[in-house]
A = this chain, B = another copy of it.
Amino acid sequence: MQILLNDIIKDNKVHTKKGELADYIPELTKANPNALGICVYDLENNVYLAGDFNTKFTIQSVSKVIILTCALMDKGREIVFSKVGTEPSADPFNSIIKLETRHSHKPLNPFINAGAIVCTSLVNGNNANKKFRRVLDMIRIMADNPNIDINYHVFQSEKLTGNTNRAIAYYLKGANIIEEDVEDVLDAYFKLCSIEATVEDVAKMAAVIGNKGISPWSNEEIVPPNVCKVLMAIMMTCGLYNASGEFAVNVGFPAKSGVGGCIMSVVPNKMGIAVIGPALDDNGNSVAGLKVLESLSQKLELSMF
């Protein structure tokens, strides 16, 4: 496995040149576009690391998986899916159009910004800080790492430049889908996008999801198995922005990407995988990260199809 990972990283390094760093918030342009790292964490607690596995990155939209986890645990499936759908979207992740044109004004799914903002409003905690702590604590537990925290520069940058998200949140407030204070919800959401981690942290979170919610290292149930099923199903259909279908075809297991360049992947009952590669394609997914996962899926026959 270790040799395979080393080879795959080496072979796909060239693809890091083909993408661009996210530039919608200034802080993200400071990342190293050529970094490429991977962690595989299997359910027997073997950890495999290759490439730039020490690179720290903000998890960005990968946090949407854990926000959804907490919303489902705190409010239950019925309430959550009364306010956000489970359907893939063909529009950009920050689009407002479907909010306006759909009769219910419900965001299509929890992995577009509108849906993640709604899920943040549903997480337990009656102010920004409590909501943030609720999700951060879950991340620390799922990654088995109490030192995970936010990058304040990125958070400030998100907050300053987050007007499209602010527009989305006020629209949802106007449509009575968000009941809590908008600025509180946004503050928590921006903080959660700014959480800093490594591929090992993210691979361990993925391993928990792929192990029906039981941590492989302590055998404790961290997340209810039914919640894990929902997470994997939505990752499969909506996890990679407008390339979710292509990823299902080419790679074939649940995943969630973020504009920080991380892709979290779950191979059910087998392993959690995380790759980091900050150079993105037009869809906002790590260019080289996608290639690495495609190679790995083919070599180890990991596709579920």
Q: Is the CB of B90 within 8 A of A95?
A: no
**Once the chains bind, are A167 and B171 in contact (CB under 8 Å)?**
yes
Q: Which of B85, B88, B98 contacts A87 (CB 8 A)?
A: B88
Name the segment of A33-41, A58-66, A229-237, A270-278 touching the other chain.
A229-237
Choice from B162, B169, B254 contacting A305 with Cβ under 8 Å: B254
User: Interface digits, A247-287 against B, CB 8 Å rule (1 contact, 0 not)?
Assistant: 01100101000000000000010000000000000000000
Report the minimum CB–CB distance from A114 to chain B (whole Å): 11
Which residues from chain B contact A245 at a C-beta distance below 8 Å?
Answer: 85-88, 109, 233-234, 237-238
Name the distance in Å between A227's Cβ and chain B's nearest Cβ. 11
CB-CB under 8 A from A32, the residues of chain B are: none
| A interface majority secondary structure | helix
Q: Is the CB of A252 within 8 A of B237?
A: no
Contact B173 A170 (CB under 8 A): no
> Is the CB of A198 closer than 8 A to any CB of chain B?
no
* A164 at interface by CB-CB < 8 Å: yes
Most buried by B among A87, A101, A166: A87
Copies in the complex: 4
Given A171-B96, A236-B236, A244-B237, residue A249 in contact with residue B86 (CB < 8 A)? yes
Hey, which chain B residues are within 8 Å of A246, CB to CB? 86-87
Provide the residues of chain B in CB contact with A167, threshold 8 Å.
Answer: 96, 166-171, 174
Shortest distance between the CB of A263 and any CB in chain B (Å): 17
* In the complex, chain B residues whose CB is within 8 Å of the CB of A163: 170-171, 173-174, 182
- Residues of the B chain whose Cβ atoms lie less than 8 Å from the Cβ of A11: none
Q: Judge if A222 is at the interface, Cβ distance under 8 Å.
A: no
Query: C-beta contact mask, A81-120 vs B, less than 8 Å → 1, else 0?
Result: 0000111111100011110110000001100000000000
Cα separation A86 to B243 with both chains bound (whole Å) = 8
On whether the beta carbons of A100 and B95 are closer than 8 Å, the reply is yes
Once the chains are docked, how many angstroms separate the CA of A2 from the CA of B180?
51
Q: Tell me which residues across on chain B come within 8 A of A168, comparing CB atoms.
A: 167
Annotate A29-51 by CB proximity to B: 1 below 8 A, 0 otherwise.
00000000000000000000000
A304 close to B (CB within 8 Å)? yes
Whether, in the assembled complex, A242 has its beta carbon less than 8 Å from a beta carbon of chain B, the answer is yes
Contact of A248 with B243 in the complex, beta carbons under 8 Å:
no
Quick one: which of B88, B101, B173, B237 contacts A97, CB cutoff 8 A?
B101
Contact assessment for A170 and B174 in the assembled complex, using a CB-CB cutoff below 8 Å: no
Set of chain B residues within 8 Å of A54, measured between Cβ atoms: none
- Report the 3 A-B pairs with minimum CB-CB distance, sorted nearest first: A163-B174, A88-B88, A167-B171
Q: 8 interchain pairs (CB within 8 A)?
A: A86-B246, A86-B248, A88-B90, A96-B167, A163-B182, A167-B169, A236-B236, A268-B305
